Amino acid sequence: MPPRSRCGLEIRMRTILRDDHELFRDQVRRFINTQVVPFHSQWEHEGIVPKSVWLEAGRQGLLCVMTPEVYGGGGGDYGHSAVLIEELARANATALGFTTHSEIVSNYFVAYGSEEQKRRWLPQMAAGALVGAIAMTEPGMGSDLRSIRTFFRRDGDHYVVNGAKAFITNGINSGVVVVVGKVDPQSRDLTLLCVEDGMEGFTKGRKLEKIGLKGQDTSELFFDEVRVPEKNRLGDEGRGFRYLSHQLAWERMIIGIRAAASIETLLQETIDYTRERKIFGQPVLDYQNTRFSLARAKAEATMLRAFIDECLGEILAGNLAPEKAAMAKLLGAEMQNRLLDDFLQLHGGYGFMSEYKIARAWVDARVARIYAGTSEVMKEIIARTL
């Protein structure tokens, strides 16, 4: 018999992960159970995670797991990152901005950074001493990246940065921000520039009040005549769109990976809850409506898992097509939102109470259809290949 999770979802098909990935999973779970779960509601209340948690994660080797060891990282692969993303999703540990920092920003440095940039930032990021963020979105622009209005004016061996960014994950805690802007305002070409905390004219706005992800640090960033040395440019001038497009496939996969893990966990929670809860003398689970609803959810979860693991295999092999990553994000996010809503309904009034995992997971899941490219933008990407 293949191994099964408690709700009977077969995990046999997960040949994609090796033993070292599963060993790493144990380490991640220990960290989450001891360092995250007991404090998560406090962070949600405060709207931010203390820096000490970043340092502890760094000490335990849980940041920048894909970054080569020579730069202080874990030297792992996409499988290690996937394990981390899955476990954070299972615990609904949405306050931690680790994924943006480790799975996104550090990847930009590894892929496009100069040797000097890698040595300057990556070891500190892996240690949790320096928090990374990426700033594409602006108050007047999100989906249409080419119409960015943050400008990098050349001045000798510096760029002078002017503009504003909105909804930036890790914004308040950030020590280094990959900022997307244009050198030539008339051009559609984008450039990536790393702006560091403390640079004159760089300010962080208010911590944004959100309906979900309440513990996650999301803020606005402002740049007013910030002088940034040329050596802080990431890659070549004008090639930013190409870099973003390349990295966005993985960023979209992250949402799919998270969705699959969240659905599996909350399916089990819902089975447990409806088995215990008795209405009109019988467990809620025994009503045909519940059984059909959960049976369908299990079928969909199984299908999503197969697709996500196929995509994971392709990204590990270096051949995941952008439209397939868009499919993983679109289907994962939409399915997660629909199924979590069904699960919440089966919890009755308790499903609306924040102390229940389903309530928080339901509200936190909503953003999956929006960030890293909206569902509509994902459909556009897929439609281009029709």
Ligand X SMILES: Cc1cc2nc3c(=O)[nH]c(=O)nc-3n(C[C@H](O)[C@H](O)[C@H](O)COP(=O)(O)OP(=O)(O)OC[C@H]3O[C@@H](n4cnc5c(N)ncnc54)[C@H](O)[C@@H]3O)c2cc1C
Q: By the criterion CB under 6 A, which residues form the site for ligand X? A: 100, 134-137, 142-143, 167-169, 210, 213, 218, 367, 370-374, 376-377, 380
Residue 33: CB minimum distance to ligand X, A:
25
Asked if residue 192 lies in contact with residue 134, where contact means CB atoms within 8 angstroms, the answer is no
Cβ proximity to ligand X, 143 vs 203, nearer residue: 143
Residue 377: CB minimum distance to ligand X, A:
5
Residue least distant from ligand X (Cβ): 142
CA angle, 135 as apex, 130 and 140 as ends, to 5°? 155
Cβ proximity to ligand X, 27 vs 374, nearer residue: 374
Cβ proximity to ligand X, 5 vs 143, nearer residue: 143
Helices and strands in the chain, H and E counts: 12, 10
Cβ proximity to ligand X, 113 vs 373, nearer residue: 373
CA distance 334 to 29: 27
Cβ proximity to ligand X, 55 vs 208, nearer residue: 208
Using alpha carbons, select from 223, 233, 227 the residue that is nearest to residue 158: 227
Residue 286: CB minimum distance to ligand X, A:
39
Cβ proximity to ligand X, 21 vs 360, nearer residue: 360
Asked if residue 95 lies in contact with residue 215, where contact means CB atoms within 8 angstroms, the answer is yes
Residue 334: CB minimum distance to ligand X, A:
12
Pull the structure tokens for residue 84. 């981390």
Using alpha carbons, select from 166, 135, 129, 110 the residue that is nearest to residue 228: 135
**Residue written as token pair 């949600």:** 44
Q: Is 251 an active-site residue? A: yes
**How does DSSP assign 149-190, residue by residue?**
--EEEEETTEEEEEEEEEEEETTTT-SEEEEEEBSSTTS---
Using alpha carbons, select from 42, 16, 53 the residue that is nearest to residue 63: 53
Residue 118: CB minimum distance to ligand X, A:
21
Residue 169: CB minimum distance to ligand X, A:
3
Residue 301: CB minimum distance to ligand X, A:
25
Pull the structure tokens for residue 89. 């999703």
Pull the structure tokens for residue 322. 């952008």
Do the bridges between strand 233-234 and strand 191-196 make them parallel or antiparallel, or are there none, so unpaired? antiparallel
Which helix (DSSP H) or strand (DSSP E) does residue 201 occupy? none
Cβ proximity to ligand X, 148 vs 320, nearer residue: 148
Q: Which residues pair with 192 in a beta bridge?
A: 180, 234
Our CA dihedral for 356, 89, 95, 350, rounded to 10 degrees, sits at -10
Catalytic residue, chosen from 103, 138, 220, 251, is: 251
* Beta-carbon contacts of residue 193 (< 8 Å; ≥ 6 apart): 152, 159, 161, 178, 179, 181, 228, 232, 233, 234
Query: Any idea which residues carry the catalytic annotation?
Result: 251
